[in-house]
Amino acid sequence: MNCKNAVKALPEYLDLTLGKDEALGVRDHLALCPECREEARLFSSSWEMLDVLETVQPSAYFRAHFWERVREQETRAWGRTGLFSRFPLAPALAGFFVLWLLGVAGGAHLFKLRHRTVTTTEIALNRFLSPYPQNSVEHIFQEGRTPGGNV
């Protein structure tokens, strides 16, 4: 038996609850290993110190009071928590829904802009109000073109 297995079996060995073969293996290992013997001595002295302490007896209603307090804590915790603790994905779903609405609204606006017909009056007005000098009405007439297209 190695040290790891012996130390692991020490509490049962000291309580005399270990099987016969395992108990013999631990006893033989303790006879050969001073480190494990010291560990066994520390275990047994700890148990002896615990035996000196007075045993505490809980009241007759301890279990009932304990479970009552557990239920109180659960109801308080449930009442304190909001929607996001009951449904942890709610913020992510709400964000996704908002982004989806923005996408639908933006897509509808772009679709409307893309499929609308532009009149010749709007073309002329856009050229007249163009910020680019080569497309201004003055420049077009100086070159001898018409606002609707080239001559």
Say what the pLDDT of residue 135 is.
60
Share above pLDDT 70 across residues of the chain, in percent, rounded to a whole number: 79
Is residue 131, in this structure, part of any structural domain at all? no
Is residue 94, in this structure, part of any structural domain at all? no
CA distances from 4 to 29, 48, 114 (A): 11, 24, 77
Is residue 17, in this structure, part of any structural domain at all? yes
List of long-range contacts for 2-7, beta carbons under 8 Å, 24+ apart: 2/29, 3/29, 3/33, 3/35, 3/36, 6/30, 6/33, 6/36, 7/36, 7/39
Is residue 149, in this structure, part of any structural domain at all? no
Is residue 28, in this structure, part of any structural domain at all? yes
Beta partners for 149?
146
Determine the 3-state secondary structure of 149 from DSSP.
Answer: strand
Q: Is 53 left (phi over 0), alpha (psi -120 to 50) or beta?
A: beta
Is residue 16, in this structure, part of any structural domain at all? yes
| Per-residue model confidence as pLDDT tens digits over 49-105 | 888 888 888 888 898 899 999 988 887 766 555 656 667 787 888 899 999 999 999
Given a contact cutoff of 8 angstroms between Cβ atoms, the answer to whether 77 and 84 are in contact is no
Say what the pLDDT of residue 148 is.
62
Per-residue b or e along 28-43, where b marks 16 or more CB atoms closer than 10 Å to that residue's CB: ebbeebeebeebbeeb
- Total domains present in the chain: 1
Q: What secondary structure letter does DSSP report for 140?
A: H
| Per-residue model confidence as pLDDT tens digits over 131-142 | 656 666 667 776
The whole domain housing 20 covers: 3-52
The arithmetic mean of pLDDT across residues 109-126, rounded, is 79
| Per-residue model confidence as pLDDT tens digits over 10-62 | 989 888 888 899 999 999 999 999 999 999 999 888 888 888 888 888 888 89
Is residue 114, in this structure, part of any structural domain at all? no
Say what the pLDDT of residue 34 is.
93
